[in-house]
Amino acid sequence: MSAVVILAAGEGKRMRSSRSKLLHEIAGRTMLSYAVDAATELQPEHVVVVVGHLREQVEAHLAEIAPHVTTVVQTEQRGTGHAVQVALAALPDLAGDVLVTYGDVPMLTSDTLVELVADHRGARTAVSVLTARVADPTGYGRIVRGAGDDVLAIVEERDASEAQRAIHEINSGIYVFDPQTLREGLAQLRPTNDQGELYLTDVVGLAREAGRTVSAFATRDAWQTEGVNDRVQLARMNAEVNRRILDGWMRAGVTVVDPASTWVHASVDLAEDVTLLPQTSLEGATSVAAGATVGPSTTLVDVEVGEGATVVRTHGSLAVVGAGATVGPYAYLRPGTVLGERGKIGTFVETKNAQIGARAKVPHLTYAGDVEIGEDANIGAGVIFANYDGVTKSRTSVGRASFVGSDSTLVAPVTVGDGAYVGAGSTLTGDVGAGELAVSRARQRNVPGWVARKRAGTKTAAAAEAASASSGAPDGGTPSPDPSGDDPVRLPEQTETVVPAPLSDQAVVPPGSDRPDTNERES
Ligand code: UD1
Ligand code: CA
């Protein structure tokens, strides 16, 4: 194969888009990338893309995904024949066959192109056309066959007779040409048709007139010849491509509970016994290892999910979930999240640049940005790793098997050592050594009788009175010290019930001291 010419200069008006039609995506890849890949797999000497409309966008995309292709500019779109003329002008010494295809026919595979080329060579014809028999041929060129099944002409719908319109075999617009036939034909094209364009299809009739033969190779998979002209077709094709991808994975041992609401890009890798629950979308370089369950309502982009892990109602990108780990429901994994084996990122937890060790747990209502959490550590509910001071981002680390109490804020940079405790409700601005308890919060004061004095006549006061009557305790009406006094009012038994045991341990938190010894530091 000397060259594959991909026609991609047209306007794509019906997409009604400021983005080139060819850059709209099917299963996470641009339409044009499919065409370029199928062409490249044939290993031709040249892959030429004819660009025109919005060519800056198209050229930039090609430079990124396929630097090996040659782009040729067709400044005025004067028809498919003209587009191929422009392409051949850039390839003066072409000796071998030329395959022509379109940039907006994404489902066409290189296997089908190989079959077309084999048919062309086997039949020794001057032109071979890829065709399909479709239920509704509206809009397509029709294949007019002669007695010996060879092709006499391709007639555009708008130029076709009634009888020709009744033909259901359509021209896909994909052909293999013998180079000489192509050159001669192109040189003779005239815009004598309804649109005043130079039609590539006319090369077929001209080849016949020159005494050459034209064959047609009909594919059984009509989807492969289908172009995308508007967003309705785009959605239909996306659904079909997705359906085929899911069929493939189901045959490979993946359970897809609801294929209609599950979207898996072609670039994704799944293992046996993966289960995908409804409304799951897996994109980019996402991989899911054996036995893992993803969904429902989960979107993962470039996420690696380990064996046997569970990811529920989660949005994640550029993250790694370890084997046996659990994530969600309602988790947001941002780039740089790495959750260790059997770790947990729970409900309403957002993580970013967060390395969370094996078996460590971040179960509820936490923001964990720029953190390293050691294995077996436990982060309580509502903990905030405050990583940003408005100017710079800083990191926090929590050591192995440490315990950070609920509703704590760790103002980065902070290091909590291995086996340390942070009391619930603390705001940490300094490091905590291994084995230490850090507590940083206002001390609790109870003011007996306050409700009776300040809220007399309310339901609350009535409840307080009833409670004291039934317990036989003072009715709360007893005068007590003014709450604005400096001395905390402490009832040891009551404090015991409010503050978790280790934090009320007087040996660890000396009376009168709100916090243990830490290197206090302003953030
Ligand atoms: C063309 C075929 C028709 C076939 C159909 C299949 C002709 C005359 N007709 O019709 O028989 O059934 O494709 O989809 O060839 N393009 C250029 N430059 C141009 C004109 C077109 O690059 O000057 C590109 C377009 O971007 C598009 C492709 O060629 O990718 C087809 O052009 P389009 O105008 O859509 O052709 P159809 O009318 O669909
Ligand atoms: Ca078209």
Residue by residue, what is the 3-state secondary structure of 273-321? CCEECCCEEEECCCEECCCCEECCCEEEEEEEECCCCEECCEEEEEEEE
Reply yes or no on whether 315 is catalytic.
no
Overall average pLDDT of the 447-467 stretch: 97
Counting atoms of ligand 1 from 1, which one is nearest the CA of 82? Answer: 23
Confidence (pLDDT) at 520: 40
Between the CA of 227 and the centroid of ligand 2 the distance, in Å, is 6
Q: Are 307 and 291 in contact (CB under 8 A)?
A: yes
Overall average pLDDT of the 128-140 stretch: 95
Structure tokens at 478: 């007893």
Which residue is it, tokens 């294949």?
143
Between the CA of 81 and the centroid of ligand 2 the distance, in Å, is 14
Overall average pLDDT of the 52-64 stretch: 97
Catalytic residue among 53, 61, 168, 364: 364
Nearest-angstrom CA–CA distance, 379 and 234? 46
Confidence (pLDDT) at 519: 44
Nearest ligand to the C-alpha of residue 233?
A: 2
Estimate the share of the chain in helix, then strand, then coil, as percent rounded to the nearest 5: 25, 30, 45
**H or E element, residue 65:** helix 55-65
Between the CA of 14 and the centroid of ligand 2 the distance, in Å, is 10
Confidence (pLDDT) at 473: 60
**pLDDT of 504 above 60:** no
- Per-residue pLDDT tens for 9-21? 999 999 999 999 9
Which residue is it, tokens 């006549």?
457
Structure tokens at 245: 């991808």
Confidence (pLDDT) at 137: 94
Confidence (pLDDT) at 93: 85
Confidence of residue 523 (pLDDT cuts 50, 70, 90): very low
Name the residues around ion ligand 2, CB cutoff 5 A: 227
Nearest-angstrom CA–CA distance, 477 and 484? 18
> Ligand 1: residues whose CB is within 6 Å?
7-10, 50, 74, 77-80, 82-83, 102-104, 140-141, 154, 156, 170-173, 199-201, 227
Confidence (pLDDT) at 496: 37
Ligand 1 pocket mutation pick from 24, 80, 136, 177 by most atoms within 8 angstroms of CB: 80
Nearest-angstrom CA–CA distance, 270 and 294? 11
**pLDDT of 345 above 70:** yes
Which residues are 66's β-sheet partners? none
Q: Which residue has the higher pLDDT, 295 or 484?
A: 295
**pLDDT of 232 above 50:** yes
Nearest-angstrom CA–CA distance, 326 and 379? 15
Confidence (pLDDT) at 339: 98
Q: What is the mean pLDDT of the chain?
A: 91
- Percentage of the chain beyond pLDDT 90 is 86
Q: Which residue has the higher pLDDT, 469 or 478?
A: 469
Q: Are 48 and 91 in contact (CB under 8 A)?
A: yes
**pLDDT of 382 above 90:** yes
Which residue is it, tokens 């923001």?
367
Confidence of residue 471 (pLDDT cuts 50, 70, 90): confident
**pLDDT of 515 above 60:** no
Counting atoms of ligand 1 from 1, which one is nearest the CA of 198? Answer: 8
> Minimal CA–CA distance to 513: which of 439, 405, 420?
439
Overall average pLDDT of the 374-383 stretch: 98
Nearest ligand to the C-alpha of residue 159?
A: 1
Overall average pLDDT of the 52-68 stretch: 97
Q: Are 142 and 162 in contact (CB under 8 A)?
A: no
**pLDDT of 397 above 50:** yes
Nearest ligand to the C-alpha of residue 72?
A: 1
Between the CA of 229 and the centroid of ligand 2 the distance, in Å, is 6
Q: Are 174 and 225 in contact (CB under 8 A)?
A: yes
Confidence (pLDDT) at 474: 56
- Per-residue pLDDT tens for 41-57? 999 999 999 999 999 99
**pLDDT of 3 above 90:** yes
**pLDDT of 513 above 90:** no
Nearest-angstrom CA–CA distance, 125 and 129? 10
> Minimal CA–CA distance to 15: which of 227, 230, 226?
230
Q: Which residue has the higher pLDDT, 14 or 511?
A: 14
Between the CA of 117 and the centroid of ligand 2 the distance, in Å, is 22
Indicate which residue's Cα is closest to atom 8 of ligand 1.
199
**pLDDT of 238 above 60:** yes
The one-letter amino acid at 357: G
Q: Which residues of 254-263 are buried (b: 16+ CB within 10 A; e: fewer)?
A: bebeebebbb
Confidence of residue 131 (pLDDT cuts 50, 70, 90): very high
**pLDDT of 98 above 50:** yes
**pLDDT of 518 above 90:** no
| CA-based R_g, the chain, Å | 36
